[in-house]
Amino acid sequence: MTWDVLTIIGTFAFAISGAIVAMEEEYDLFGIYVLGMITAFGGGAIRNLLIDVPVSTLWEQGEFFTIAILSITAIVLFPQNLLRYWPIWGNLFDAIGLSAFAIQGALYAVGMGHPLSAVVMAAVLTGSGGGLVRDVLAQRKPTLLRNEVYGVWAALAGMFIALNIVQSPAQIFILFLFITVLRILSYKYSWYLPKRTMKR
């Protein structure tokens, strides 16, 4: 139940983030909906491909599709109202989505008996793969690969789960809060990972 609420919040935040990027790139209505849906569901689709879950399980998530479509419709109809406070709650919701999706992806992979590397990959892709595809389709350098700390938190969630440090529902919920807070701090205080730039 709690988990469903978190997934709904994440779906909402990811769908809207895709729609916003599409609007910034001057894509049309079709592009706005497509990019919103891909951001919300693309990460899970790629994860399914990479750990041999039938991808079509995606199509059984009817209610989440509806939520994503309604979210995109809301931002299309009332962009000003919704976006005025986006810097405040938009990043909060996105952090919830990253954390909830990453943990869900990792649990999925663990349940299938995959090794550490696959679990971490599943956590990262479920949490941030949708945003990666979104950026590629918007012809942007993926923010996942260069901006404030983001994917690392998803990887960390995957490690905690793969190494069985976190197992009971209560532990998993604490992990969820922990990862969410870390992501919010990264954003709020602009935590960056080091870079090793090279002149070409």
Residues in contact with 10: Cβ distance below 8 Å, sequence separation at least 6, in sequence order:
93, 96, 97, 98, 100, 101
CA angle 37/39/45 to nearest 5° reads 85
Binding mask 125-164 for its own copies (x = CB under 8 A): -------x---xxxxxxx-xxxx-xxxx--x---------
Separation of alpha carbons 195 and 128, rounded Å: 20
Element (H, E) at 109: helix 91-111
State in angstroms the smallest separation of the CB of 175 from its own copies: 20
Stretch that binds its own copies, among 4-12, 30-38, 94-102, 168-176 (CB under 8 A): 30-38
Cα radius of gyration (the chain) = 16
DSSP secondary-structure letter at 163? T
> Which listed residue (5, 165, 177, 192) binds its own copies by CB under 8 A?
192
> Which listed residue (115, 177, 181, 190) binds its own copies by CB under 8 A?
115
Interface residues with its own copies (CB under 8 A)?
20, 22-32, 34-35, 45, 49-52, 54-56, 58-60, 62, 65, 76, 79, 83, 112, 114-115, 117-118, 121, 124, 132, 136-142, 144-147, 149-152, 155, 192-198, 200
